Amino acid sequence: MQFGVSTFLWASPFSTNSFDLVYKIKDMGFDIIEVAVENKDLIDWTKLKRIVKETGLQVTISGAFGANRDISSDDPDIRENGLKYITDCITIAQDMGSPIFGGPVYSAVGKTRFISDEQKKRERAWCVENLIKAGKFAEERGIIVGLEPLNRFETDMVNTADQAISLVKEAGHPSIKIQLDTFHCNIEEKSIPETIRKIGKDLLCHIQANESDRGTPGTGNVDWEGMRDALTDIGYDKAIVIETFGEVSEEIARAASIWRPLANSSDELAAEGLQFYKKLFNSINH
């Protein structure tokens, strides 16, 4: 098991000016830096790759899906832009050595509406069409796309593991799998452990292990011991990452409803979260 933390905890958007975070994350004792790609052009990827190699950190790449990156939009230009963003991030993942690119790839975050069944079918068809294209692109580059369910306040499309499994099966591509964020699971699922077992080792490609209030892991009401036992049961041996938000951009704050500090400081949240991870997951660390 390897432990990581998202750049979202300190910087939004992450940019070349944020590269001191690489050293900070390494010094804290993390194995992985999860780079959130809000604007790829703000990042000197060649330099970042060099610094990451120097520190020995591994990289995972995550997405930020604003309104103009929606592969299920009724606007074909927005769908095209969303697919381009996904393929750009897959290319970045390949270059940076990330095994995955993850996020709510199916829609825009904050897109919550009451719509007809007919409209739902249309949007799902557009989504599946583009997921298949993304899957083929990812397969050629050895990358897995992790489709992440979000809670009902952040999307109206995929809230539960059952919905994610259904969508992944409909897309029917081996490079499209599921990543879980326990913050969202804690809202939408009856049981996080049973959700993990239901998805299983073959489909579960990544975990963002976050607390019930997006604060420091271990300080809320997530069933951490049950989650650990379920991961042991399915033989999960991939990344466990803290993904929460410190200095948020206006777009992220609005989409994720972040209106207050989630800890005394980002550094404290990261350090105490990692300490909790190591204590909790030590028994299944390989």
d(CA 195, CA 276): 22
Strands 144-147 and 2-6: unpaired
Ranges of each domain in the chain: 2-284
**Surface-to-core class of residue 268, CB atoms within 10 Å of its CB (0-12 exposed, 13-18 middle, 19+ buried):** exposed
- 2-284 adopts what CATH topology? TIM Barrel (3.20.20)
Q: How many CB atoms within 10 Å of residue 196?
A: 27
Task: Answer positive or negative: Cα dihedral of 207, 59, 259, 278.
Answer: positive
Task: Answer positive or negative: Cα dihedral of 64, 66, 68, 72.
Answer: positive
* Whether 147 contacts 176, CB under 8 Å: yes
pTM equals 0.95
Q: What is the pLDDT along the chain (286 residues), one digit of tens a residue?
A: 899 999 999 999 999 999 999 999 999 999 999 999 999 999 999 999 999 999 999 999 999 999 999 999 999 999 999 999 999 999 999 999 999 999 999 999 999 999 999 999 999 999 999 999 999 999 999 999 999 999 999 999 999 999 999 999 999 999 999 999 999 999 999 999 999 999 999 999 999 999 999 999 999 999 999 999 999 999 999 999 999 987 766 777 676 767 677 778 999 999 999 999 999 998 665 4
Q: What is the CA radius of gyration of the chain?
A: 18
Residues annotated as part of the active site = 148, 243
